[in-house]
Each structure stands twice: as structure tokens, then as C-alpha cells.
């Protein structure tokens, strides 16, 4: 009985594990069901949500820069174009893992100063910093091949100016963000810059773009500007003006070429110039387009207008003569000529550039009438060429004139003008009394012609101006083989503090050719020639001659003088 009792007791303490197995199995099955349910939820019910979250981490929208519009000359030659480049930037938060060797490698490849990258890593919150702007695509690929974390590139455009300094003052330039800063690039930036687009891209774990998904918005390229400028004439004018500044040791110079028939600006150059492709060390005063923004007193170049105004107003007779005996008193003031020319007719007054002769004509005209002629010619107001910061010049109101003011205004003192304004005023003589507006853009005809003088008067004065180019005139150096030339010199003392400065001059020449039927007008202004000569007929007239000669041949204008035809033919060969 005792043994049996112990056996029964052992039986009582034996465990049954079947229940535990069933419980554990239930837990496993429940877990599997939960996992299956979650998988179904993720793959079916939450599929769009998860896809959106994944796309947020790997798909993003990036801008697509618009191509900046070209600037061309009248014949389609490029004056400003954009080329694709890359800019390298880093996310300092991601780039911090780079080793010292990798940093040095990046700086060496991009030709950066030692420590430049370290400086970009100092801000603990910064997530964007340019390392190099506008590098070549080839160099950008070399940077990408380093596979540095946090280093990225983006496509941009770099502006390039094929003519360099030849048209620099006119075209201007853009900054690193392709925004116009000077010249026409600034004035017409809203047309040239276009509208940026955008696209959707896929990025890898390092945020590098690995594929394009779709174009969201196509970029709209900027508009192309077609200028009135003729690159061939622009280069010719630039070359001759630079040479003149050098040999005359001048401070600066400007030159404008106009189409006498419709007012198109075919060339506008200045010295000194600058290269818009390389301007890191240049000073801002070099950027100024002096031909359109700098004013000067025009001197004797306005005398033909005084004669024309007096003729049209019947204040002088065509056959009238004037006594110019070296000096002419006006109240307490005295007007002088450089020589005693004696008795001069109208042609002689122009030919010898007599201050006394034109002063006598000016004093016969009522101030209001005289002022109106100058005002109608455009003096004292902008030409509205569309160039930014164009100067207006100045013209004193006639109500404030005294007799001596009328006299000084007749030989170009007391008013100021730009080279472009002066060239424009000469269209009234070149196109038989019709004054033209000016344009920097190509056009077939002037939409705003305005008659200033009668055709008969304009032709008559133009014939008088032809005598200026003779051996006993003031600008024999302005002659052009094969073509008749009409023009006028100006040698102007420069104003300074307290009055006019001795031995400091503007040397000016304004003229047109062929004089029989003018096609081109050229104004040359050279500031402070200091090599010994300063007269407009000696300093500026030779520049006019060379530029006019070349420009007429470029435009294939037929000669109007047969005497020099053999010379012309030999020159062409």
C-alpha cells in the first residue's frame, strides 16, 4: 500500500504541456495574421500614402533655367549669347563627413584658395553654399566623379560676348545670376531673361539626381534683340578711335555713326573700353557709354544750324556778306576769331568758322525763334534711343538770354549735348531738312520724321559745309576718296571750376557723305588731346575720314566723285 501510495503521489505531480503548446501556437498564428494583415494594409489600403511618402523622399521638383535671348547685330552676327555651364554647391551638413584629403582634392580641382571650403562649413545651420559658379560641364563631371557626399551641381547659363570690348559699352553685361547689369542687357532684361520652367526628378540616397521623371513646366526662352548696329562698322570705328586716342594722348573719346535716311544707329563706340568677358579688376567708370551719357559743349559744329535758321527765317539774304575784322563787341563782351577774315559771305562764315559772322546772324534772330530751332533739333532733351541713363544735355530757356548769350550759343557755348544728340541734329541737314528720331533697333524707316528746315535751305547749307573739307577750309583731313563730304569742325575749351580751362579742349568733327545725297553721318569727339594738336580738323577729322571711307564701302554706297575712281578701284583690290 505504501508503494502504491507513493506511485500515486508521483502521478499527481506530473505536468501536462499540451495546453502551453496550444497557447504558444495561438500566439504565433496571431502574430502571423497580424503581419499578413499589416502587409495587406501596406500593399493595398495604404499603398498611395506610402508611395507619396516615398516620393517625398526620393522625387523632387527642380527649376529648369530659361535660355537668355541673344543680342544680334543687323545682319544676325551674335553680340551676346548664352552657353550652358554648371555651378557646384554643397550642403555643409552632409559634407562634414568629408576627409581632409577629399577637401583638398575638391579645392585643387576647382582651383580654390586653401581653406575656402572650410569657411563654408562654419555655420552649423547652413544647408546651401556655392563652391564655384559657372564652371565648364567637363569640370563639373570631374567633380561628380569624386562622389563626395553633400556635393551637388546645377545647370546654369553663362553670358558670352564674341566682340569683347568692341560693343561692350552698348551691350553691357549680366551678373552671375544672368541678370542684366549695364547697357542693353540691363535695359531689356525683362525681355531677354525669359521664364524659368521646372521638372520632376528622382534622387538617390545622397540626393544626387539620377533620372528625370517628367517636365512640369517648359522654360520659355528670352526674346532675341536685333539691333541696328552693324558689327563691321562698329569694329572699324572702335579700331580707329582707339588709335586716335593713343597717338593724341587723349583722355577719352566717342564716335557715333548714323544712317542719314532713317536714324538707325550703325555704330556707337567709346575709348577707353573694357572686356565684358573679363571684368573682375575693372573700375565702374569704364562701363559708361560716353557717346550717349557724357555731355560737352558742341562748339562750332552748330554754326551750320545758325546759318540755316537765319536763311529760313529770312533774317539774312543768301548773297549777304559780313565784316569780320578780328573782334566784335557786344556790350561789355568781345567775340573774337582766330584770324582777321575780313569780308565773308555765308559760305565763308562756315568755311572759316567765323564766330563773329554767326554772332551777327544770331543777334538778328529773336531769342524765341533761335531757341525753338535748337529745341526742335533735339538739344536739351533725350533722343529717346532706349538706352538707360542717356543724357539730355542742356539748353538755357530763351527768356533768360541776353544778347551775348545769343552770340555764344551761335558758336556752341552755353549748351551741352551728347555725341548721339549732335549726330541726330545733323540728319536735318543730311536729309534735306528732315530731322529723324534715332533707334538702336533695326527698322526700315523712321516713324517720326520732322521737318526743321526747307529742302532748299538744307541743300544750300550742305553745299557750304563741303567747302570746310577743302585745302583752305578747316577740315581738309576729313576728305574721303571718291566721295564728296560735308562737315564742320569744333574746337571747344573745356569748362572747369570758375570758368574755362586753358589748354584743355574737346576736339570735335561732325560730317556726312556722300554730300550730294548723304547716307551716313559721323560725329567724332576726342576729349583732352595732349600730344600737341587739339583742333577738331586735325585731331578728329582724320578719324572721321577713315571710318566714313570704310563704312561706305561696307554698305556698298556708290561714289559720287569720278576724279578719284582709279584710287577707289585700286583700294578695293
User: Which residues are the active-site residues?
Assistant: 300
* φ, ψ of residue 344 in degrees (nearest 5): -125, 140
Q: Return all residues near 199 (Cβ < 8 A) that are at least 6 apart.
A: 61, 62, 64, 212, 213, 214, 215, 216
Q: CA 249 to CA 534: how far, in whole Å?
A: 11
**CB burial of residue 78 (10 Å; 0-12, 13-18, 19+):** middle
Q: CA 462 to CA 470: how far, in whole Å?
A: 14
* φ, ψ of residue 572 in degrees (nearest 5): -70, -35
- Phi-psi category of 249—alpha, beta or left, where left has phi over 0 and alpha has psi -120 to 50? left
Q: 192 to each of 72, 222, 252, how far by Cα in Å?
A: 12, 4, 31
* φ, ψ of residue 447 in degrees (nearest 5): -80, -10
Q: CA 529 to CA 162: how far, in whole Å?
A: 31
* φ, ψ of residue 207 in degrees (nearest 5): 70, 15
Q: CA 346 to CA 352: how far, in whole Å?
A: 10
Find how far residue 400's CA is from the centre of its chain. 38
Q: CA 506 to CA 392: how far, in whole Å?
A: 19
Per the listing, cell 517648359 goes with 218
Q: CA 45 to CA 50: how far, in whole Å?
A: 10
Q: CA 459 to CA 440: how far, in whole Å?
A: 27
Q: Return all residues near 210 (Cβ < 8 A) that are at least 6 apart.
A: 201, 202, 203, 204
Helical H segments across 96-230, by residue range: 100-109, 116-120, 137-144, 168-171, 183-187, 189-192
Going by C-alpha positions, the residue among 139, 44, 75 that lies closest to residue 554 is: 75
Strands 394-395 and 415-416, sheet pairing: antiparallel
Determine how many CB atoms are found less than 10 A away from the CB of residue 252.
18
Q: Return all residues near 401 (Cβ < 8 A) that are at least 6 apart.
A: 367, 371, 409
CB 397 within 8 A of CB 374: no
Q: CA 365 to CA 374: how far, in whole Å?
A: 12
Amino acid at each position: 500500500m505504501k508503494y502504491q501510495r507513493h506511485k500515486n503521489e508521483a502521478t499527481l505531480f506530473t505536468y501536462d504541456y499540451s495546453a502551453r503548446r496550444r497557447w504558444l501556437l495561438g500566439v504565433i498564428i496571431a502574430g502571423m495574421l497580424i503581419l499578413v494583415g499589416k502587409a495587406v494594409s501596406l500593399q493595398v489600403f495604404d499603398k498611395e500614402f506610402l508611395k507619396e511618402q516615398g516620393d517625398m523622399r526620393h522625387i523632387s521638383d527642380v527649376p529648369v533655367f530659361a535660355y537668355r535671348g541673344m543680342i544680334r547685330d543687323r545682319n544676325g552676327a551674335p553680340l551676346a549669347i548664352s552657353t550652358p555651364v554648371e555651378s557646384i554647391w554643397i550642403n555643409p551638413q552632409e559634407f562634414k563627413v568629408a576627409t581632409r584629403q577629399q577637401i583638398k582634392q575638391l579645392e585643387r580641382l576647382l582651383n580654390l584658395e586653401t581653406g575656402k571650403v572650410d569657411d563654408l562649413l562654419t555655420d552649423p545651420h547652413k544647408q546651401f553654399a556655392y563652391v564655384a559658379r559657372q564652371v565648364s560641364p567637363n569640370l563639373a563631371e570631374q567633380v561628380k566623379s569624386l562622389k563626395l557626399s553633400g556635393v551637388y551641381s546645377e545647370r546654369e547659363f553663362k553670358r558670352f560676348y564674341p566682340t569683347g570690348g568692341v560693343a561692350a559699352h552698348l551691350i553691357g553685361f549680366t551678373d552671375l545670376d544672368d541678370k542684366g547689369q549695364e547697357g542693353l542687357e540691363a535695359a531689356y532684361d525683362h525681355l531677354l531673361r525669359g521664364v524659368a520652367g521646372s521638372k520632376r526628378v528622382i534622387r538617390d540616397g545622397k540626393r544626387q539626381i539620377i533620372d528625370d521623371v517628367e517636365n512640369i513646366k517648359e522654360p520659355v526662352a528670352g526674346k532675341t534683340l536685333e539691333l541696328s548696329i552693324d558689327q563691321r562698322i562698329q569694329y572699324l570705328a572702335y579700331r580707329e578711335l582707339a588709335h586716335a586716342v593713343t597717338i593724341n594722348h587723349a583722355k577719352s573719346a566717342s564716335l557715333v555713326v548714323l544712317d542719314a535716311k532713317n536714324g538707325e544707329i550703325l555704330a556707337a563706340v567709346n575709348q577707353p573700353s573694357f572686356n565684358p568677358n573679363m571684368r573682375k579688376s575693372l573700375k565702374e567708370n569704364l562701363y559708361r557709354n560716353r557717346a550717349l551719357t557724357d555731355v560737352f559743349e558742341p562748339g562750332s559744329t552748330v554754326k551750320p544750324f545758325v546759318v540755316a535758321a537765319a536763311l529760313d527765317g529770312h533774317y539774312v539774304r543768301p548773297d549777304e556778306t559780313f565784316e569780320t575784322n578780328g573782334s566784335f563787341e557786344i556790350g561789355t563782351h568781345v567775340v573774337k576769331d582766330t584770324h582777321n577774315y575780313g569780308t565773308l559771305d555765308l559760305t565763308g562764315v562756315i568755311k572759316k568758322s567765323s564766330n563773329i559772322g554767326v554772332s551777327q546772324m544770331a543777334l538778328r534772330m529773336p531769342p524765341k525763334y533761335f531757341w525753338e530751332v535748337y529745341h526742335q533739333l533735339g538739344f536739351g532733351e533725350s533722343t529717346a534711343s532706349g538706352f538707360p541713363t542717356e543724357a539730355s544735355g542742356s539748353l538755357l530757356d530763351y527768356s533768360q538770354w541776353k544778347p551775348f548769350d545769343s552770340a555764344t550759343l551761335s558758336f556752341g557755348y552755353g549748351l551741352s549735348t551728347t555725341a548721339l544728340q549732335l549726330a541726330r541734329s545733323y540728319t536735318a541737314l543730311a536729309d534735306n531738312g528732315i530731322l529723324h528720331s534715332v533707334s538702336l533697333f533695326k527698322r526700315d524707316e523712321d516713324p517720326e520724321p520732322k521737318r526743321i528746315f526747307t529742302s532748299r535751305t538744307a541743300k544750300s547749307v550742305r553745299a557750304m559745309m563741303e567747302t570746310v573739307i577743302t585745302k583752305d577750309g578747316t577740315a581738309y583731313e576729313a576728305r574721303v576718296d571718291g566721295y564728296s563730304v560735308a562737315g564742320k569742325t569744333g574746337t571747344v575749351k573745356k569748362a572747369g571750376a570758375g570758368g574755362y580751362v586753358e589748354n584743355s579742349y574737346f576736339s570735335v568733327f561732325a560730317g556726312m557723305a556722300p554730300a550730294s545725297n548723304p547716307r551716313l553721318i559721323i560725329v567724332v569727339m576726342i576729349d583732352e588731346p595732349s600730344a600737341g594738336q587739339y583742333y577738331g580738323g586735325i585731331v578728329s577729322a582724320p578719324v572721321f575720314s577713315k571710318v566714313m571711307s570704310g563704312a561706305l564701302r561696307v554698305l556698298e554706297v556708290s561714289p559720287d566723285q569720278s576724279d578719284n575712281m582709279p584710287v577707289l578701284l585700286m583700294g578695293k583690290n
